[in-house]
Amino acid sequence: MSAVVNSSAELLEDPAPERPRFVLASASPARLKTLRNAGVEPEVIVSGVDEDHVTAENPGELARTLATLKARAVVSTLTDHATVLGCDSVLEIDGVAYGKPGTPEVARERLRMMRGRSGILHTGHCLFDTYSKQEFRELASTTVSFADLTDEEIDAYVETGEPLVVAGSFTVDGLGGPFVEGIEGDYHNVVGLSLPLLRRMLATVGISWPSLWQHRTFEYDEDEAAKYDETRGGPARALAAAEGVQRLLPGGGRVLELAVGTGIVAAELVALGNMAHGIDLSPAMLHHARIRLPGHVAAADATRLPIADRRCDAVVAIWLLHVLEDADPLLAEVSRVLRPGGVFVTTTEKSEASRVADGRTPKEQRSQDSLALLVARAAQYGLTLDAATTFTGHNQARGGGTDPIYPLVRFRRTGS
């Protein structure tokens, strides 16, 4: 069998992208949603800064100081370059700063004080760019006018729990929206992040806003390909992945790895007794794969495999599906080239596994390697889930966290 695939398995995991690595140093769901609605999917790393013991000369400077501390705390944990945004919001009324109330009693007292009045919502922004070693600190301020709430409305709002965990004890984009009579300034700033200000800050470090919309590309030059394995966990992670795959493979068959990359995982599969082949679209990656798997790799697209029907005993995809916009064409090809009873082994929930290990919140948007979605899609092509295992992503812990545990699942080709 001549083998061949799409950009490399490990290449697809985390290539050197045109889109900058952009990190949000905040646990705020509202800030994350604001960025996502604007077409930006940041990496979220929570800073862990204790906000209760930070002081400043005025409310605006307090917001800016807290944002700076958050950004710097996250930068200190990074092992590679990124552009990090820290934010913090503070409500000012009569020169006094109000953050999160924390308890129902404090929230109730503040809302009674705020009703029928206006305040200034300050959001501090700190952008730290490790590439250029530059830090920018800015403040956006918006005047907010509050409705004259009744005691019953205040009690009911406090009982929801929402005002306890937000700056100023209110939201404009949630249950508190009807209690905001008007805004003078940037609406998004009241939510927790000024998009126009952020756009200007990014421009100062050479990042255009539209560049954050761009999909990742998977082109590598020779220097990047040469360094790729050592920056992705090296032999330890490759062996762990191969051993996980091995537990799900039928013995003694022909294995095709899609997006083979440098061939580091496929080579381990050969050492474990398999006849492994691989495909990729990156010439630089294939150069290294051909050294590890001479005569057994080729350039090809995973959605248009140059392989006859029913020729493969197993097809493997490591860290590939999660970067696809639509997995259906790939699943259709896998089904076509597998013999009846053959298996498709793939990683699943890759991003979620990394987020769990890092202590981050789940992504709102479901990726193509989401298990429930994958099971349903695969079934349309006669691929039935019948086994699973896991392996450890050695040397992939971030910021002092633990190495992620990656799920591997097996689908069996049914029918004739």
Report which of residues 13 and 186 the model is more confident about: 186
pLDDT of residue 139: 97
Residues 6+ away with beta carbon under 8 Å from 125: 64, 67, 85, 86, 87, 136, 137, 138, 139, 140, 193, 194, 197, 198, 201
Task: Look up residue 321 and give its two tokens.
Answer: 């599906």
Residue 252 CB neighbour total at 10 angstroms: 9
pLDDT at 59: 94
- What is the pLDDT of the chain when averaged over all its residues? 86
Amino acid at 4: V
Using CB atoms within 10 A of its CB, is residue 373 exposed (0-12), middle (13-18) or buried (19+)?
middle
> CA end-to-end span of the chain, whole Å?
20
Q: Is the pLDDT of residue 8 over 50?
A: no
pLDDT of residue 358: 58
Q: What pLDDT score was predicted for residue 81?
A: 85
pLDDT bin (cut points 50, 70, 90) of residue 166 is confident
Query: Hey, what are 240's tokens?
Result: 């762990």
Q: Which comes out higher in pLDDT, residue 155 or 353?
A: 155
- CATH fold, domain 222-413, is Rossmann fold (3.40.50)
For the chain, the C-alpha Rg in angstroms (whole number) is 25
What pLDDT is attached to residue 357? 65
Q: Look up residue 131 and give its two tokens.
A: 């590439």
Q: Is the dihedral of CA 283, 228, 224, 360 positive or negative?
A: positive
Regarding predicted confidence, which is higher, 312 or 360?
A: 312
* CB-based contact 204:138 (threshold 8 Å): no
Classify domain 22-212 at the CATH topology level. Answer: Maf protein (3.90.950)
Q: Where are the domains of the chain?
A: 22-212, 222-413
Quick: pLDDT tens for 237-279.
999 999 999 999 987 678 999 999 999 999 999 999 999 999 9
| C-alpha to C-alpha distance for 362 and 354, rounded to whole angstroms | 10
**Long-range CB contacts (within 8 A, 24+) of 109-114:** 110/163, 110/168, 110/169, 111/149, 111/154, 111/157, 111/158, 111/163, 111/169, 111/170, 112/149, 112/151, 112/154, 114/146, 114/168, 114/169, 114/170
Average pLDDT of the segment spanning 283-307: 90
pLDDT digits (tens, 9 = 90+) for 91-147: 999 999 988 888 999 999 999 999 999 999 999 999 999 988 999 999 999 999 999
CB half-sphere exposure, 390, CA atoms < 13 A: 11
Q: Examine the residue annotation and report whether 88 is marked as an active-site residue of this protein.
A: yes
pLDDT at 6 over 50: no
Catalytic position from the list 50, 80, 88, 328: 88
CB–CB of 147/180 below 8 Å? Answer: yes
The C-alpha atoms of residue 167 and residue 127 are separated, in whole angstroms, by: 21
Q: At residue 363, does pLDDT exceed 80? A: no
CA distance 137 to 40: 21
pLDDT of residue 17: 38
| Polymer length in residues for the chain | 416
